[in-house]
Structures are given as C-alpha cells and as structure tokens.
C-alpha cells in the first residue's frame, strides 16, 4: 500500500509545526534509516489514513496502524514525498 503526497503546502505546514513544537525538523528517511511519523491533527486527534492502494487519503481516529504511519523522503532540490507504511 503505497500512497504518495506531493503537496508543498502540507510539507511547509508540517515542518513549521514540528519546528515550533520540537525545535527540530523531522528526520528525512533514507534506505539505511527509515523513520515513520503519524500525522495527527491537534483538534480532534484524527490522523491521515491510507486504506487501500490508489485510494484517497482520509482521516480517522489515531491508532498508529500501518496506514497511518508516514515516512518523508527526498531533498531540498527535488522536493519531498510522503509515503505510508
């Protein structure tokens, strides 16, 4: 189940949130170091959820299931991609 989000505004929002909250940027995954994040809304506590291949991403109660875990891949020059577990 691989979903990719190429949304620059989402990336900027997430980096802004993580910077304000944790004072560091999220770790960008590499083939040697894969790091997953759950993208959860502060109001309501729901998280981005991928249910099947090629389906739209939805939100549902945060459970940390594989469909709610996302890794960040890419770089500044080529852009970033979010891929679910």
Torsion, Cα of 65, 41, 71, 24 (10° steps): -130
User: What residues pair up with 60 in beta bridges, in sequence order?
Assistant: 47
Average pLDDT in the 45-55 region? 86
pLDDT band at 10 (very low <50, low <70, confident <90, very high): low
Find how far residue 39's CA is from the centre of its chain: 5
Rounded to an integer, what distance in angstroms lies between the CA atom of residue 4 and that of residue 82? 5
pTM: 0.67
pLDDT band at 23 (very low <50, low <70, confident <90, very high): low
Q: Degrees (nearest 5) of the Cα angle 73, 14, 47?
A: 90
pLDDT band at 28 (very low <50, low <70, confident <90, very high): very high
């Amino acid at each position: 189940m691989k979903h990719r989000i190429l949304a620059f505004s989402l990336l900027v929002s997430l980096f802004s949130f993580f910077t304000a909250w944790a004072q560091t940027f999220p770790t960008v995954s590499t083939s040697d170091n894969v790091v997953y994040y759950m993208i959860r809304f502060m109001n309501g506590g729901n998280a981005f959820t991928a249910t099947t291949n090629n389906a739209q991403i939805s939100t549902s109660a945060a459970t940390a299931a594989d469909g709610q875990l996302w890794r960040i891949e890419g770089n500044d020059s080529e852009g970033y991609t979010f891929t679910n577990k």
